[in-house]
Structure 1
Amino acid sequence: MPRSEPGSTPSSATAPVSAGIGTRECLHCTVRHLAVCSALSCDEVQALEQITTSLPVPMGATLARTGEPRTHVFTVTEGALRLVRTLADGRRQVNGFVLPGDYVGLSGSDQHRYDIEAIAESRVCRVPAVQMRDLRQRYPHLERKLLQRACQELDAAHDNALALARLQPPERLADFLLRLAAREALQGQVGNRVALPMGRGDIADHLGLTMETVSRTFTKLRQQGLIALPHLNVVEILDFAGLQKLANDDLR
């Protein structure tokens, strides 16, 4: 069984751990098909489960800080995290958002390169980095899955860099919403509603815009009939083709 540790509400890398999850729960995890552990057979999952700790991460808590030793890797099973770096001039850069099924720990560095913060009530599966490395050597198909994930993250980083190079905020926001919609489709979400666990300020710091610009751009997309805003944290995409055209026009 995964280890269980006592703890209190985290404000740094140390966070409380609930009772461990069992192999049956691992096999029936709703995001297992998105996670790297999907590469493992039922029997092999038991080996992973032996070194895994289920860890609740309260909203606002910091799972790890920039520069701290990278002693663990994580898979998000609930909620959402953000990867944040503070620049030399004090500005905040949100490098990305970590959603259920995402793996945190694909890095050649021995230290964390970003602050990892919870932007919603979250839960992660935590595995010691050394033991994960041993497991990768034991199961080459897990290593291949991690390589595939690394390639996907590299592609996503290139796409995001291209989006940031665009001059018009509507193009950036349209691209961002479409990427979230594609992710929800992978999770099996049906319909045209996209959840936004991140706030407008996080979106602004991720897209290189001001919060006021992001708010105005949401309003503009709504006025154009591309989206509806039934709730602050929900976007309803009314015109996928129109949103895709907006996001891709500058690539032609």
Structure 2
Amino acid sequence: MKRGDTLSGEALTQWPIVAVSSGVLSLQHLMADGRKSIAALYMQGDIIDLRGIANRNRCNLISLGNSEVCRLSPDIFERVASSNPNAQNSIWSNLRQQTFRAIDHSVDMSKKQALEKLASFIIECNYRETSTASGSVVTKIPVRRVDLAEYIGVQPETVSRCFKNLKDRGVLAFKNLSVVTIHDVALLQKIANGEK
């Protein structure tokens, strides 16, 4: 899938289970008045089970860059899960992690200020994909600033200001637009938890 490619409607009804092999997909929720929001982000290794979603609300899965997915029919998915204990454990573990991320994101959206939301997102990225370089932590930010802004509920300019704030405070440095080096993980965690 390329950036902007969408799975929706009939495609999700027929193949409602999607495994993300690479890249990032967003679950975009469409409101009746035309407003939209990124309700969830799915990254490599995530399994997305949207059975019954067509009856609940209007949503689309949208690729936020080059992504590879594996779409499964419910019958095949259930057969694999029931016949393979390792697959079943992996599926349940993945769904638990998604539940925890959804809870954290709900708190971020309802209670946190912009800087705290961004810090929380960076920590989540750090948790999902980490490599260490000379005592610092290198973390990939897998989405564009405009998508990140929509996901955390702020304007793109606010995301840029918050990144600059973290850079100026020595919390992180940019290797490029999509990779940051976190110099002070503890301080980033404190900021995410509301300490200025």
**Structure-1-length-normalised TM-score:** 0.67
Higher Cα radius of gyration: 1
In 1: Cα distance, 2:193 partner to 2:94 partner: 25
> Is residue 82 of structure 1 aligned with residue 26 of structure 2?
yes
Quick one: higher RCO (CA 8 Å, sep 6+), 1 or 2? 2
> Is residue 223 of structure 1 aligned with residue 177 of structure 2?
no
Q: Which residue pairs with 1:139 in the alignment?
A: 84
Contact 1:178–1:244 (CA under 8 A) maintained in structure 2: yes
User: What amino acid sits opposite 1:210 in the alignment?
Assistant: Q
Matches within 5 A, 1:24-43: none
User: What amino acid sits opposite 1:135 in the alignment?
Assistant: V
Q: Which residue pairs with 1:114 in the alignment?
A: 59
Cα drift, residue 202 of structure 1: 0.9
Structure 1 unaligned blocks of 5 or more: 1-56
Contact 1:71–1:130 (CA under 8 A) maintained in structure 2: no
In 1: Cα distance, 2:16 partner to 2:112 partner: 38
Q: Which residue pairs with 1:152 in the alignment?
A: 97
User: What amino acid sits opposite 2:153 in the alignment?
Assistant: G
Cα drift, residue 244 of structure 1: 0.8
Tell me the number of residue pairs that the alignment of Structure 1 and Structure 2 aligns: 189
Q: Which residue pairs with 1:166 in the alignment?
A: 111
Structure 1, residues 190-218: CA drift from partner, whole Å, max 9, x if none?
44222223111111111111112111111
Pairing partner for 2:4 from 60, 66, 69? 60
In 1: Cα distance, 2:149 partner to 2:140 partner: 16
In 1: Cα distance, 2:28 partner to 2:63 partner: 11
Q: Which residue pairs with 1:94 in the alignment?
A: 38
Helix, strand or coil at the partner of 1:101: coil
Which structure features the higher share of strand residues?
2
The 1:120–1:221 alpha-carbon spacing in structure 2 relative to 1, beyond 3 Å, is same
In 1: Cα distance, 2:103 partner to 2:41 partner: 15
Structure 1, residues 5-51: CA drift from partner, whole Å, max 9, x if none?
xxxxxxxxxxxxxxxxxxxxxxxxxxxxxxxxxxxxxxxxxxxxxxx
